[in-house]
Copies of this chain bind each other. A is one copy, B any other.
Amino acid sequence: MSLKVERASLAEQVKEILINRIIEGKYKGGERLIELAVAKDLGVSQAPVREAFQQLVAMRILESEPHKGTRVREITDCEMGESTMVRGYLEEAAARHAVHALKDKLDDLRAEVQGMLDALEKGNFVAVAKHNVNFHRAIVHASGNQVLISVWESLAFEAKSRLCAQKAAYSVMLNGVKSCEPIIEAFSRGDGETAGRLLRLQTEKCGDVQKTATQRLTPADLHKALAAYKPAAT
């Protein structure tokens, strides 16, 4: 009996593969992607590739003009900032409505923060980004607002944050992790207003740093900072 777990359409699979290739840098920003070429490469026909392209265009990961072709979008710092700002407002909205549902999910949030700290210590920035996404996603989903969830997911926070995982300064990451705890604390008090404001401010700060700062901590600095921080965390 064959297991046959391939429960995703070809288009879906192609989409996943393309996202990974873009994240891994196999397809650089600005590079042209040709439907038939990708199709041949993956051993499928043009149709599912075209379908995957369209979904990635909707996620603003690819861009296309009729009859002119499709290429990998350059996610500029500017756009990353714009996206972050929008995300901030969405999460502020989510927080205000998620208070009740989060009451007995606070430990999940704490677990994600701990996951970030662990990953940060190991220098595994992709993992940090992943836990960070989970932290924010949990809040958004707890809002129960389906439209809000769908819009938030469409920002492709996950993909973009992994794309920029290398770029991100260590300092930003540590500060980002630190700023999660007051948020959890606000939720535990049932104060969605404050939690929301903190979430939005987090994105504003993030945007600023992304724009201005190129000063980065060395791994050694990071380790020192972590050591000083952890006692308070546990």
Contacts and interface: CB of A to CB of B under 8 A. Distances in A.
Contacts of A150: 60
A14 B85 CA distance: 34
Contacts of A90: 86, 89
A9 B86 CA distance: 31
Contacts of A148: 82, 85-86
Q: How large is the interface on A (under 10, 10 to 19, 20 to 34, 35 or more residues)?
A: 20 to 34
Given A51-B54, A147-B155, A86 B93 contact: yes
A89 B148 CA distance: 10
Interface string A124-166: 0000000000000000000001111011001100000000000
- The number of times this chain is found in the oligomer is 2
Interface of A is mostly: helix
A66 interface: yes
Contacts of A79: 146-147
Contacts of A92: 89
Nearest to A89: B93
A176 B152 CA distance: 27
A83 interface: yes
27 contacts: A9-B66, A51-B54, A54-B54, A54-B55, A58-B58, A60-B147, A60-B150, A79-B146, A82-B145, A82-B146, A83-B147, A85-B93, A85-B145, A85-B147, A85-B148, A86-B90, A86-B93, A86-B145, A86-B148, A86-B151, A89-B89, A89-B93, A147-B155, A151-B151, A151-B154, A151-B155, A154-B154
Given A9-B66, A82-B148, 15 more contacts: A47-B47, A51-B54, A60-B147, A79-B147, A82-B145, A82-B146, A85-B145, A86-B90, A89-B89, A89-B90, A89-B92, A89-B93, A147-B155, A151-B154, A151-B155
